[in-house]
Amino acid sequence: MLDIQRIRDFPDEVRQAALNKKSPVDIESVCALDTERRETIQEVERLKRLRNSRSQEIALLKKEKKDASGLLEEMRQVSDKIKELDANLKTIEERLHEKLIWIPNIPHASVHHGESEKDNKEVSAWGTPCAFDFEPKDHLHIGSTLDIIDFPRGAKVAGAGFPVYKGAGALLERGLINFMLDTHTRKNGYLEIFPPFLANRESHFGTGQLPKSHDQMYYINEDELYCIPTAEVPVTNLHRDEILDAAALPLTYCAYSACFRREAGSYGKDTKGFLRVHQFNKVELVKFVAPERSYEELELLRKDAEGILQALGLHYRVLLLCDADLSFAAAKCYDLEVWAPAEKKFLEVSSCSNFEDFQARRMNIRYRPSNGERLRFVHTLNGSGVATARILVALLETYQTARGTVRLPEVLQPYLHGMKEISPR
């Protein structure tokens, strides 16, 4: 959530930022409730001071054997009024909280204005599109011919969008995950976490998925648990309601998880094969950092994610998202998109975001500065490092051969028992 003081001081900025994110909010009612809350608190405090003062007067009168009935009646009325105001204050705070949780994060000053994802800006690219001396096949044809992916049987078991990996396909998927985890832990210094794949409402609220994205999530009503859409949710919530040691920052974690998304409202989008699925695998990177370092850490996070794509030899580009395409909680975000030759388009495989203190306020994650200053909220960052589904699309289509095989990047071969290419069985 945003700091209420920021909303008080810059209501027009907050209102415009929400409009730019396509999430209009009623800032006037927020400010009115905030004013009513503060005035109520002031009145309660005034009455409590009066009650204390009258209590001393009553005690003095009783000591002197004088009549205190008038003051006692006044005290009773004051106490009743305090109870009434306390009840009103609770209602006001609940109404204010309900409005605050729908206000999106404010984009960083370096984020440009746009109307849609079409206004995102390419800031860099790596590699070049591969050239073929034959007509390249798409990943579905390749996966079916090699008998390594089975969407029809996945649909039979669970429904459309739940793929089955077979043989070398399963080995390749597992190899990708292990390669990424090894790279981020051994080379990039992240601490590996293996989190739950289910999380409660508080956890999803903390990272900003709830209440806004409820319709995109799988919910288990009996247990009040949600299937996680990303390991960001459980990993970031590891430190909910904690005070971190400033000397330990930044904390950098990586985690593999299966990810579950209903993809409600995706009608009309390309849902072929792995382009849009309900279950996929991803290695997530999460950072807890001091505010003054958060944007430097964002660039390092992006570099770590790009390193995976470079090691795999995949052509990709980096997009800086405009304000209209930013997520609800993000202040700044880069998307990494790999080139899929047969699809003839770029596919998003990673989003690297800085949330500043937006998530930390929702989760109450603070740290104590080493100079003895008061507690401050940390900044949280995360990024895919990376998601495997569309990486698999790019790998199969980039490394296919005219013989119908798929060559394997050298960095993956140790994870596939030395296999150099996947051939038909």
d(CA 315, CA 394): 9
Q: Are residues 24 and 161 in the same domain?
A: no
Q: Which of 192, 348, 368, 376 is catalytic?
A: 348
Q: Do 83 and 125 fall into the same domain?
A: no
Asked if 325 and 368 sit in the same domain, the reply is: yes
- Residue 59 forms part of a structural domain: yes
Do 61 and 179 lie in one domain? The reply is no
DSSP letters for 190-241: PEEE---SEEEHHHHHHHT-TTTTGGGS-EETTTTEEE-SSTHHHHHGGGTT
**342/323 Cα distance (integer angstroms):** 31
Residue 264 within any structural domain of the chain = yes
Is 141 within a domain?
yes
Assign residue 33 the CATH number of its domain: 1.10.287.40
Active site residue 348: yes
Residues 191 and 323 in one domain: yes
In-domain check, residue 138: yes
Boundary of a domain, candidates 42, 70, 100: 100
321 contacts 111 by C-beta, under 8 angstroms? yes
- Among the listed residues 173, 257, 261, 306, the single catalytic one is 261
Residue 408 Cα distances to 13, 124, 135, 392, angstroms: 50, 26, 20, 11
**Residue 261 CA from chain centroid, whole number:** 14
Q: CATH code at 378? A: 3.30.930.10
Q: In the structure encoding, which two tokens stand for residue 268, read together?
A: 């009309």
Residue 54 bears catalytic tag: no
Q: What is the domain count for the chain? A: 2
Residue 238 maps to a domain: yes
Last residue of a domain, one of 100, 133, 154: 100
- Domain containing 395: what range? 117-422
Give catalytic status of residue 425 as yes or no: no
Burial class (CB in 10 A: 0-12, 13-18, 19+), 28: exposed
User: Is 105 domain-assigned?
Assistant: no
Tens place of pLDDT for every residue, the chain, 425 residues?
999 999 999 999 999 999 999 999 999 999 999 999 999 999 999 999 998 888 888 888 888 888 888 888 888 899 999 999 999 999 999 999 999 999 999 999 999 999 999 999 999 999 999 999 999 999 999 999 999 999 999 999 999 999 999 999 999 999 999 999 999 999 999 999 999 999 999 999 999 999 999 999 999 999 999 999 999 999 999 999 999 999 999 999 999 999 999 986 555 566 678 888 999 999 999 999 999 999 999 999 999 999 999 999 999 999 999 999 999 999 999 999 999 999 999 999 999 999 999 999 999 999 999 877 899 999 999 999 999 999 999 999 999 999 999 999 999 999 999 999 999 87
User: Which one is catalytic: 174, 240, 276, 376?
Assistant: 276
Helix (H, G, I), strand (E, B) or coil at 330: coil
Distance CA 130, CA 127 (A): 9
403 tagged catalytic: no
Q: Do 205 and 101 meet the contact criterion of CB atoms below 8 Å apart?
A: yes
The reply to whether 390 belongs to the active site is yes
Strand 251-260 versus strand 191-193 pairing type: parallel
Q: For residues 276 and 216, what is the distance between their CA atoms, to the nearest angstrom?
A: 13
Question: Does 111 fall in a domain?
Answer: no
